[in-house]
Amino acid sequence: MHFLDMLRQAERLNDSLLCVGLDPDPERLPGAWQGDASRLFDFCAAIVDATRDLVIAYKPQIAYFAAHGAEAQLERLIGHIRRVAPRVPVILDAKRGDIGSTAEQYAKEAFVRYQADAVTLSPFMGFDSVEPYLRYPDKGAFLLCRTSNPGGSDLQNQRLADVDGQPRVYEHLARLAQGPWNTNGQLGLVVGATYPQEIERVRELAPTVPLLVPGVGAQGGDARATVRAGYRAEADGTPRGLVIVNSSRAVLYASGGADFAAAARAAAQATRDELNAARR
- Confirm whether 95 is a catalytic residue: yes
Cβ atoms 156, 170 nearer than 8 A: yes
Catalytic residue among 59, 95, 108, 139: 95
Which are the catalytic amino acids? Answer: 95
